[in-house]
Amino acid sequence: MEKPNLRKAFTLIELLVVIAIIAILIGLLLPAVQKVREAAARAKCSNNVKQLSLAMHNYLGVYNSFAQTQLDVTGGQTGLANWGWIPKLLPYIEQEALAKLADFYDSYSTPKALPLRMAIIQSINCPSDPKPASNNTYGEFSTAGLSGVYGSPQWGCPPQYGAPAAIPDIPAATRFYAQHASYYGSYGDGYSTSSGYPYGATNNGQIGDDGCDQYTASGSWARYNNGGDPLVSDGAPQPTSYLGGDKDGNGGRGFFAGGKGPTNPTGVATTAKNVRPVDVTDGLSNTIMIGHTVSNAAGNKEGWYQGMSIGGTSLPPNHLRPCMQSGQNYNWATPGTPCQPASCGRQSWQTRGFNSYHTGGVLVSMGDGSVKFIVDGINQKSFNALGSKAGGEVTPDF
């Protein structure tokens, strides 16, 4: 009797069907996995912002004012210590060893501060950003290798009180190491003046525009009330100068545009003017204190310990989306690309908004320490209202 011919393998068609089914299942699962991963990253980022907010309030409890940068918001870039706001929070984010290296009466470029410049602090890095925490974020976008950030004598005060002269960490570039933090202090809704087109200037009939964007100079005030109502004798809105600061140095409209503060015996400003809760007349819960930024905005003056680690609401959320989608850094982008339109030139104010890789918006911390998510489509006037600390605007829903 002949035995039946038992099949011992799948046919090619059956294998292809099984593979197709598996591929379909993977295709269905991947978006879910990516959403879970982004949700976890956003939760971690939200916790980072919350910890910085709590640290700000711990600092407030000790010094009766919020931590400030030491940047002259009227535009001065020499003669100042130029420390940022995050170094002042180091004791309150479990970084006591680094805190002991920060001398706010002296330059951050001194040999003593080298371990601080080299430090990589994970809690100030957003896990959604494609660039991992690094002490040379800016240089990693460079085609010329290590680049680093400015320090003495290029930017910032020389060493004080007979301290040793600064020796650049990257001699070939005369630069220093610095991590780019994912979080900016908010200088509010003051617009940035674009080079060559300050308030009141015209460009081919576009009042106050710089020829490539609508969010700078007086054009932004006319459209979006950047800077609020006219408060000075020339009829311009109050903050009409560098990084949201006003023209006479008395301070801008946000948490981190307090104006130039007291100086040490050698004439170096040791802090900006204090901002206290009583100064935030719009209400702490109605005013953005800390915002989000991305590695694509990393520049040579925005390291985590530098005074220009600040941004504002005068640009809409995720204004740098073209740069983020291209994977380029704005400061290193090739002219003529979506990140760097040829008509714009290289205007660094375009990196001064709040940006993130979180889907649909950016995380911010309000002055009371609460963490909020601002959607990309928020009305620009409403966004500016959240940026000012004493603008008197009606607080929008968001």
- Nearest to 77, CA basis, from 173, 177, 157: 157
CB-based contacts of 94-100 (< 8 A; 24+ apart in sequence): 95/119, 95/121
Across 25-39, 50-64, 186-200, 328-342, the highest mean pLDDT is recorded for 50-64
Share of the chain above pLDDT 70, in %: 68
Cβ within 8 Å of residue 84, ≥6 positions away:
69, 70, 71, 185, 303, 304, 305, 306, 307, 308, 309, 310
pLDDT value at 25 more than 50? yes
- Nearest to 378, CA basis, from 287, 315, 297, 323: 315
Average pLDDT in the 325-343 region?
79
Cα torsion 93, 98, 103, 104: sign: negative
pLDDT value at 207 more than 50? no
In the three-class reduction of DSSP (H, G, I as helix; E, B as strand; rest coil), residue 200 is classed as coil
- Buried residues in 26-46 as b, exposed as e (16+ CB within 10 A): eeeeeeeeeeeeeeebbeebb
- Between 260 and 357, name the one with better pLDDT: 357
Q: In whole numbers, what is the pLDDT of the chain averaged over residues?
A: 78
| Farthest-apart Cα atoms in the chain, separation | 113
End-to-end CA distance of the chain: 83
- Nearest to 321, CA basis, from 333, 295, 339, 299: 339
Average pLDDT in the 149-166 region?
71
- Nearest to 328, CA basis, from 351, 302, 354: 351
pLDDT of residue 263: 65
Q: Where are the domains of the chain?
A: 28-387
pLDDT of residue 143: 66
- H-helix or E-strand containing 311? strand 310-311
Across 5-9, 11-15, 136-140, 357-361, the highest mean pLDDT is recorded for 357-361
* DSSP calls for 118-185: H---GGGS-TTSSSPP-TBHHHHT-TTS---B--TTTSSPPPPTTPPPP--SBTTTTBB-B---SEEE
Confidence of residue 119 (pLDDT cuts 50, 70, 90): very high
Average pLDDT in the 84-105 region?
92
- Please report where in the chains the tokens 């390291």 appear, as a residue: 303
Kindly report the number of other CB atoms within 10 A of residue 24's CB atom. Answer: 10
pLDDT of residue 203: 46
CB-based contacts of 334-339 (< 8 A; 24+ apart in sequence): 339/296
pLDDT of residue 366: 95
Q: Which pTM value belongs to this model?
A: 0.83
pLDDT value at 376 more than 90? yes
Across 53-67, 156-170, 312-326, the highest mean pLDDT is recorded for 53-67
- Between 72 and 27, name the one with better pLDDT: 27
CA atoms within 13 A on the CB side of 354: 34
pLDDT of residue 274: 80
For residue 44, the one-letter residue type is K
- Please report where in the chains the tokens 């910085």 appear, as a residue: 52
In the three-class reduction of DSSP (H, G, I as helix; E, B as strand; rest coil), residue 79 is classed as coil
The encoded tokens of residue 127 equal 């896990």
pLDDT of residue 338: 78
In the three-class reduction of DSSP (H, G, I as helix; E, B as strand; rest coil), residue 248 is classed as coil
pLDDT value at 374 more than 90? yes
Confidence of residue 289 (pLDDT cuts 50, 70, 90): very high
Average pLDDT in the 377-385 region?
89
Confidence of residue 216 (pLDDT cuts 50, 70, 90): low
Confidence of residue 215 (pLDDT cuts 50, 70, 90): confident
pLDDT of residue 235: 54
- Between 204 and 116, name the one with better pLDDT: 116
**pLDDT digit string, tens, across residues 219-268:** 676 777 776 665 555 555 554 455 656 555 556 678 886 566 666 666 65
pLDDT value at 170 more than 90? no
Across 170-179, 207-216, 370-379, 385-394, the highest mean pLDDT is recorded for 370-379
- Please report where in the chains the tokens 């900006």 appear, as a residue: 272
**pLDDT digit string, tens, across residues 306-323:** 888 888 888 899 988 888
pLDDT value at 346 more than 70? no
pLDDT value at 273 more than 50? yes
- Nearest to 215, CA basis, from 350, 100, 86: 350
